[in-house]
Structure 1
Amino acid sequence: MDRRARGLALVGLGVLVIVGTLAVGAVTAPDRSVTDGDERQTLVGSQGGGTGWHDHGSVYLVDSDEIAWREDSADSYFDVTMLPNGSVMAGFMHSGYEDGCGPYETPCTKTGFRVIDPDADGGPTVVSEHAVPVRSQGNSEVHDVERLPSGEYLMTDMDAERLVAVRNGEVTWEWRASELYTAPEDPTRRDWLHVNDVDVINESHYLVSVRNANQLVVVERGAGAVEVINADRGGSDDSCLVRGEQLVPDADGDVRCGDPDVLNHQHNPQWLGDGAVLVADSDNHRVVELHRTESGEWEPAWTLERAGGIRLDWPRDADRLSNGNTLVTDTLNTRIFEISPNGTVVWSRETPDTSPIPYEAERLPEGERVGGQRYPGGEAAGETDGRTPTATPDAPGGDVPGLSLGMTVLRAAVPSTPFWFGEAHLGFSLVGLVLVVGGGIDRWRAL
């Protein structure tokens, strides 16, 4: 076979490998849309899509399996809460502000929270906004806001890495993470701790997610940090330095870093009661329920790694519902689903193509509650009195060594990547691409 014919054959084989990989993946992909006929209302905050996920943000209500309304005037939305009067409160980030930019050049980016009236004439409308300018568009956003009985609004300020309470636009209280963690000279110039969630445990205690340290912190108002869940093990732990070395060592060279086998860059913990929390354990690609042991350590008691035949991919929210089921925001699989204690997916909804990257979801009317049913503890998945979902067959796109980073980069750059496209599909597609390029070079040299 001459070089030209061999090149043509290689190109044909490469195209066949790529097309076959995509076709088989699409045909064998599990269904993300599941319903049992029960009526459900689910409120969703979407970070959006586009490059860096800083565009096409939205807040929308899924009524059973249809989108009832949608508000999309911000680049990104995050935590969502329905208030007693029916309005919706949402953390947000938006760029292009011409006024009130403080020390930053215009147009600038602002972050904070908005209140949306979903029943306004003309459709869902932003009726109020509390926003402050920030240095950068990414990793500076207010990801969570809670309305306190006092009338204050409690926010996570990721730009300055603190909790801050405001009333009528004025700061009434704050807790700075630098009280517990060694701080850089200027937290606004780096993604230091990524404080991404706060939940009210009671009138004086708040549960805080410190993502980059793999830790949850219980903060008492007026006293500071009173408990660290997944406490650091001492020393300089590289597992907390994987995102650009955000943590700062103390004088002894140590960093506060929790065990990544317990929590790894988590989001949106829910306080189930004293001694139990439910967490979206994002970089471990699972949902985990942690229980406090008699020794005071926190250990995984229940884990969820698959649902509906699909491996979880960077989940960022999990709520234990009043019926005992768990509502999960499976971010990079672009779906929201509800799963029963025995592992059955009773409802699932894929996110819209216009705003594919979900951040958080709440089931209405209950919202994210303080307190919830605990699942019995066990040594490993599948061993918790039948409550941990049993293992399902490997979903398309299971782990292939060396390609996980490539999938992370691909999904960040192209949010519309099909949910079923995993490491195996990427590997075969790269093989096909090499064959096409190699064949093309052979044909070019033969000219």
Structure 2
Amino acid sequence: MHRKLLFALLISINVVFSQNTIGTTSISEGVYDGYTLFTSHTETYLINNCGEVINQWTSSFPPGNAVYLLENGDILRAGRTSSSDITFGGQGGVIEIYNWEGNLTWQYFYDTPMMRQHHDIYPMPNGNVLILAVTRMTNAEAIQAGRNPAELSETDLYNEQIIEVTPVGANSATIVWEWNVKDHLVQDFDNSKDNFGDVGLSPEKLNINFLNGGSGASNWLHFNSIQFNPVLDQIIISSRNLSEIYIIDHSTSTAEAATNSGGTYNKGGDFLYRWGNPQSYNQGTEADRQLYGQHYPYVIENGILDAGKIIVFNNGNGRNPMFSEVFIINPETDSPGVYTYQSNTAFGPVAPDYIYSNSASPTDFFSGILSSAQRLPNGNTLICEGINGRMFEITPNESIVWEYINPVNSNNGTVSSQETEPSTFANTIFRSLKYKPEYAAFIDKDLTPSDPIELNPDLSACYSLSISDFEQFDISFYPNPTKGSIAIDSNKTIDKIEAYNTLGRKIIESNTKAIDLSNQSNGIYFLRIYSGSNNVSKKVIKH
């Protein structure tokens, strides 16, 4: 093939891929080679970096909202029931487990006129499940808890609750632990009530009359995340409406969790730590506020960059101008799990250790609701810009090495074709999580990729990259360009070779160290070469 023609063809391939509007819209060397899990409408997808589906699960319920891949290959998923008793953004009501093959093995409803699961759940190491829920408090109960009656705009008030359940059979559970925020309130409005006190000297309690500019509606707190830290046996909570995160002790009994004593840290169910909006406990002003409607704070796992620190997606909702960020904060501690605090001050740190934003154009990176950020084993960060259905991965130097746009209409499940503008349909994602290839869930599972979710996909640029980041091949292949047969020489056993055309369609497969393109048209092809759990892709030319 003439050199100028070859150059033009390569440019055309890059142009075609650059026009991708949904699915994997960009990919570069340095992307972490894992599998990404997310839910849209009634479907849960596990995809590779090319956007190809590794597995898919179907529920009868839209998200409610979190989903996790368990170590045995099952998924734990929250679903949204049709209940109209307790309604607000993020409502759920049912928790389900599906096995790898897609069969429903457990379904538990936490949905009555008096209580409802919402937003988050969490799979505990012992097989139990943490569930985030609201329960109703009557206005009379709220007033007894010290709420100013003038700040009650609806007929009830929501208490935020966390329960831990042990799954039983196919549709039951036993509650083994419980925590309620209503047991940890303080107020300085009504001195006739038992919880009357000095809010500024009670940072371990929640001021029932701090509304952060809100209206006093039933859903005054809007907790949107619960994450468990197994190292410290602590739970980290996010309150979107108050723009704060809290840490509580999980080692307590249920009885202790309703008090201010007991447990490993001897504070019962009181807050061990809080951060983001110190005016909530009279230790600052709006100028000291740092969080704005945040989502998904969690403690970064051991062995990963910034382990032990908290990463959180700071949505930026409610400030002017509105833009989103990713924070990493490092709480000061006196000993593991015991947070440094000086009386009559705000919890530290004064500022995050790290902030990611779109420095060139801050308002271009904005999701007022939903969203997440996850630190990956190679130091990259996976960011989910939930309102726009966008997931992207950045390196430590903040280069974007992967971008994916959800092609599924989150309202009705309709799947769009490549080159559809994502702004023309709703494609929101609550959260996305990326799992390493060595994760236990993948042992003895068929991870053969199938077609991407979007219709008429174009994967040409994806196959021009090595997509194995965790172990590289020492490999050569010849001749290239070729008139037909290509031989592979490698330091590893070759299990399989697949050849793909520039549209991403597999056109031939070989189980030897050679593959023959004699019957294919002249042009560019991509070889995917497999060895054990590793694979690499290489570009070849036939002429």
What is the total number of aligned residue pairs between the two structures? 298
Give how far 1:228 is off: 1.2
Give deviations 1:60-97, integer Å, cap 9, x for gaps.
1122212342425212242221111100111221216x
Give deviations 1:202-259, integer Å, cap 9, x for gaps.
2631111122221111101222121112352257xxxxxxxxxxxxxxxxxx799987
Mapped to 2, the partners of 1:136 and 1:189 lie a distance apart of: 16
Unaligned runs of 5+ in 1: 1-26, 47-55, 236-253, 369-447
* Residue in structure 2 matched with residue 297 of structure 1 by the alignment: 348
Unaligned runs of 5+ in 2: 1-18, 136-158, 185-204, 210-215, 253-267, 301-305, 318-322, 333-339, 342-346, 411-426, 440-543
Change (3 A) 1:182 1:220: same
TM-score norm. by structure 2 comes to: 0.48
RMSD between aligned residues? 3.9
* Residue in structure 2 matched with residue 306 of structure 1 by the alignment: 358
Give how far 1:41 is off: 1.2
* Residue in structure 2 matched with residue 233 of structure 1 by the alignment: 279
Partner SS, residue 143 of structure 1:
strand
Within a 5 Å distance, the mapping from 1:145-294 to structure 2 comes to 145-159=121-135, 160-167=159-166, 168=168, 169-178=173-182, 179=184, 180-183=205-208, 190-202=218-230, 204-221=233-250, 222=252, 223-224=268-269, 225-230=271-276, 232-233=278-279, 261-272=289-300, 276-282=309-315, 283=317, 284-292=323-331
Mapped to 2, the partners of 1:80 and 1:208 lie a distance apart of: 17
Give how far 1:309 is off: 7.8
Contact 2:246 2:273 in 1 (8 A): yes
Amino acid of the residue matched to residue 206 of structure 2? Answer: Y
* Residue in structure 2 matched with residue 93 of structure 1 by the alignment: 80
* Residue in structure 2 matched with residue 73 of structure 1 by the alignment: 60
Corresponding position: 1:359 with 2:346: no
Change (3 A) 1:132 1:215: same
Partner SS, residue 233 of structure 1:
helix
Change (3 A) 1:156 1:165: same
Amino acid of the residue matched to residue 35 of structure 1? Answer: I
Contact 1:110 1:134 in 2 (8 A): no
Mapped to 2, the partners of 1:83 and 1:366 lie a distance apart of: 14
Partner SS, residue 192 of structure 1:
coil
Change (3 A) 1:354 1:164: same
Give how far 1:271 is off: 0.8
Partner SS, residue 262 of structure 1:
coil
Contact 2:278 2:285 in 1 (8 A): yes
Partner SS, residue 269 of structure 1:
strand
Give % identity.
20
Give how far 1:260 is off: 7.2
Contact 2:43 2:58 in 1 (8 A): yes
Mapped to 2, the partners of 1:343 and 1:312 lie a distance apart of: 14
Change (3 A) 1:302 1:207: same
Mapped to 1, the partners of 2:43 and 2:389 lie a distance apart of: 14
Contact 1:320 1:327 in 2 (8 A): yes
Within a 5 Å distance, the mapping from 1:128-139 to structure 2 comes to 128-135=106-113
* Richer in helix (by share): 1
Mapped to 2, the partners of 1:308 and 1:40 lie a distance apart of: 29
Amino acid of the residue matched to residue 230 of structure 1? Answer: G
Partner SS, residue 60 of structure 1:
strand
Give how far 1:192 is off: 2.1
Partner SS, residue 313 of structure 2:
strand
Give how far 1:31 is off: 10
Partner SS, residue 220 of structure 2:
coil
Q: Which has the higher contact order (CA 8 A, sep 6+)?
A: 1
Query: Which stretch of the first structure deviates more once superposed, 110-119 or 31-40?
Result: 31-40
TM-score norm. by structure 1 comes to: 0.58
Change (3 A) 1:357 1:151: same
